[in-house]
Amino acid sequence: MRSSGGRGGGAVRQETLREHNLSLIARTVMTAPTPPSRADVATATGLTRATVSRLVTELIDGGLVAEDAPLTAGAAGRPAIPLRPATGTVGALGLEVNIDYLAARVLDLSGRVLAEATRERDLRGSDPGPVLSELGTLGIEIADTATAGGIRLAGTGLALPGLLRDDVLLLAPNLAWTAVTPAALLGGPIPGGRLHLGNEARFAAGAELAAGSATDSFLYLSGSVGIGAAIVHGGEIFAGEHGWSGELGHVCVDPAGDTCRCGATGCLETYAGSAALLRRAGLPEGARPPDLVDALAAADPGALAAVHSAARALGTAVGAFINLVDVSEVVLGNSFAPLTEYLRPELERELTVRVLASRWAPPQVRASVAGDRPALTGAARAALAGVTEDPSAWLSRAR
């Protein structure tokens, strides 16, 4: 009995080691800034070349990793073969509910968009049932388009603008949604079998990291009707004790200011949210953020004044944040990104005055590099993360 138990325990430990090494190799390949060779992976992970070669072959056979053309320039002996995330084999569906639109996007392991669609809607005060049902149908349509091309889906991520706990959206002030369970309202099977819920700003910040952000510590600001934020430190997103960090839009910048949809007065989003900006710029009803960009390019006085006021309000809120958590880079995303050149001068001036340590570490403001609708990309990447973290389970499932 003792001998049999020893053999069984050894087998379990051996399998656990294999799973760990597969995950380590997969993460190394997926996150490398340039495609690494097997030798590079061995050096980065500390594993033997024989182990790396054997497990890389498993990842290639399972459609998770692919080989590029061999590198021959300037090298003696066998040429190195770069490894990269496979394209068109494994993907995930990203979904998003925002104030002004519903959207779906399928992304593969390499980050390539395989299918996507957006439906513009005014969703303020909407009924979550029909909205999420429509989004579920849209997601299935997009997922079917991708799987028809041979992609296997690993799961679905859903980005929402509000406070989440487990599988419940507790509150989304601008939607006027409370205590919503999205999985029950999407309808039909979840593409890929598993639903990952997340705050849209944190998903967008994850997309920013994946897009090759120049630094791995920053405050990500997600501009829309509301203003979300995500705290990124050392490449990790800080969610807070309850997972509710980053509600910068509801930081008070003027106690005597306008009433916000959350019920408080003087919240940042009443000055710098997209709806507030459009209204303060004097643009006609129905105007969209691109209309504000056009007005700014034409040096419209109302638009310039609105952006100047928004930058000062942002500086007040963000300056307090930087004093508290000590991060020096501010990334402007979503509707803020195309406004960066207009927001940056006044925002940086305000931060220089308000941040105590600005003399030694002046805060820098830049536009996001994550592209259009980054929360969609981040949601899909969150669903794909399970494949990278546990490729052994995915390979078994695929078989």
Domain limits of the chain? 2-85, 90-205+374-398, 213-367
- Does residue 101 contact residue 119 with C-beta atoms inside 8 Å? yes
Distance CA 27, CA 389 (A): 7
Q: Are strands 83-85 and 65-67 parallel, antiparallel or unpaired?
A: antiparallel
Query: Can you give the pLDDT at residue 14?
Result: 63
- Average of per-residue pLDDT across 188-201: 92
Alpha carbon distances (Å) from 335 to 210, 219, 292, 304: 20, 16, 10, 16
Domain 2-85 fold is: Arc Repressor Mutant, subunit A (1.10.10)
Distance CA 146, CA 311 (A): 41
CATH superfamily label, 213-367: ATPase, nucleotide binding domain (3.30.420.40)
| Mean pLDDT, the chain, whole residue set | 92
Name residue 376's beta-bridge partners. none
Find tokens 């999407």 and name the residue.
186
Query: Can you give the pLDDT at residue 5?
Result: 40
pLDDT beyond 60 at 1: no
pLDDT beyond 70 at 273: yes
Distance CA 80, CA 49 (A): 13
pLDDT beyond 90 at 62: yes
| Percent of the chain at pLDDT exceeding 90 | 85
pLDDT beyond 60 at 12: no
- Average of per-residue pLDDT across 223-232: 94
pLDDT beyond 90 at 395: no
Per residue in 324-338, pLDDT tens? 999 999 999 999 999
**Residues ≥6 apart with Cβ < 8 Å to 293:** 338, 339
Query: Can you give the pLDDT at residue 79?
Result: 80
CA 251 to chain centre: 22
Query: What is the model's pTM?
Result: 0.91
Query: Can you give the pLDDT at residue 393?
Result: 87
Per residue in 78-130, pLDDT tens? 788 999 999 999 999 999 999 999 999 999 999 999 999 999 999 999 999 99
Phi and psi at 209, nearest 5°, equal: -60, -45
The answer to whether domain 2-85 and domain 90-205+374-398 are alike in fold is: no
Cα three-residue angle 182-183-186, rounded to 5 degrees? 80
Distance CA 298, CA 99 (A): 27
Domain 90-205+374-398 fold is: Nucleotidyltransferase; domain 5 (3.30.420)
Distance CA 289, CA 354 (A): 28
> Residue type for 183, please?
A
Q: Which long-range contacts (CB under 8 A, 24 or more apart) does 264-270 make?
A: 268/227, 268/313, 268/314, 268/316, 268/317, 269/225, 269/226, 269/227
Report, in angstroms and rounded to the nearest whole number, the Rg of the chain calculated over CA atoms: 23
Per residue in 204-218, pLDDT tens? 999 999 998 778 899
pLDDT beyond 60 at 173: yes
- Does residue 209 contact residue 235 with C-beta atoms inside 8 Å? yes
- Average of per-residue pLDDT across 225-242: 93
Query: Can you give the pLDDT at residue 73?
Result: 55
